[in-house]
Amino acid sequence: MSWSIHHVNLETRDVRATADFYATMLGMAQKDWVFPASRGYLPGDPDKLALMADGRDSHSGLHLIAPDREFAAKNGMDHNPSIGGHVAVQVPDLDAVVARLDAAGIAYSLTGEFAIPGMRHLYVEDPSGNLIEVNECLPETTAPAPVRHLALCQVRSGSEAEFAKVMAGLDALRNRLEMGPMRWGPDTSPEGLGRGYGYVFSIDFPTAAARDAYLEHPDHKALGARLVGLCEGGVEGLCVVDF
């Protein structure tokens, strides 16, 4: 059976400092973690999880995770991949591995698609007590489509400074939600077709579910109410589209 190393997972006491170390000292690129629609229990806060991607696929490379004593129980597993670190081996036929482990009477934890889109996972200890993940790609499964949230704003004259504060507040939500890059600024198009929408902001989300969580967050709702108050005609001075 063919195989390859998909990722290495390190138990990490300080995820942010460790991610910065690998980015600065080894030049690794940190990428946003995209979760499947069937996401299990996997805290995604920046101080809990980081992906240093190597570019082979969406989640291959180095995973940094804060130890979580409840991880196994909350996912219905007997093994806890957040503690002690592990190596993940990718194979083309996970069922064949399961059959061999069953024949040998070796205990394992088998999951469906719960952490990485398009993958299912098995966790088992080798004879030396090393935790190993074995995973495979699910057939005809694709990662959730990303969403770009775009808002056009007719900001009242004299409200630009307050508008900038609202933008800073929205950007700060990235520390608590699954949000990608946010950009904002005045319309600079030379075409003259802005129709009074003098400011624009956009936010990238890894999935529609992440976008929905942002929309329902109480801080977003509070900032949105402030934004409406800064626009000509209130809500009539806003145009919001997602694609």
Domains in the chain, CATH or no CATH each: 4-137 (3.10.180.10), 147-242 (3.30.70.100)
Quote the mean pLDDT of the chain.
94
142 pLDDT more than 90:
no
pLDDT of the residue at 178: 82
Confidence category of residue 16, pLDDT binned at 50, 70, 90: very high
Q: Where are the alpha helices (DSSP H) in 27-75?
A: 71-74
**Which whole number is the average pLDDT over 134-145?**
78
Task: Give residue 31's pLDDT.
Answer: 92
Work out whether strand 61-65 and strand 49-53 pair parallel, antiparallel, or are unpaired. Answer: antiparallel
- DSSP 8-state symbol, 173: G
Q: Mind listing the pLDDT tens digit for each residue in 226-237?
A: 999 999 999 999
The beta-carbon contacts of 169-176 under 8 Å, at least 24 apart in sequence, are 169/219, 169/223, 170/201, 170/203, 170/220, 170/223, 173/214, 173/217, 173/219, 173/220, 175/45, 175/46, 176/45, 176/217, 176/219
Q: What is the CA radius of gyration of the chain?
A: 22
Query: What are residue 150's DSSP bridge partners?
Result: 202, 241
Q: What is the pLDDT of residue 174?
A: 79
Question: Which pLDDT tens digit goes with each residue over 171-191?
Answer: 998 777 888 889 999 999 999
The pLDDT assigned to 143 comes to: 60
pLDDT in tens, 35-73: 988 899 999 999 999 999 999 999 999 999 999 999 999
Note the pLDDT tens digit of each residue in 101-114: 999 999 999 999 99
CA–CA distance, 123 with 88 (Å, rounded to integer) = 9
Q: Is the confidence at residue 140, as pLDDT, over 70?
A: no
* Residue-level pLDDT at 179: 85
b or e along 158-191 (b: 16 or more beta carbons within 10 Å of the residue's beta carbon)?
Answer: ebeeebeebbeebbebbeebbbbebebeebeeee
Q: What pLDDT is attached to residue 175?
A: 74
DSSP states of 214-243 as a string? HHH-HHHHHHHHHHHHHBTTGGGGEEEEE-
Residue 126 has pLDDT above 80, yes or no: yes
Asked if residue 129 has pLDDT above 80, the reply is: yes
Crossing angle of helices 160-172 and 218-230, rounded to 10°: 170
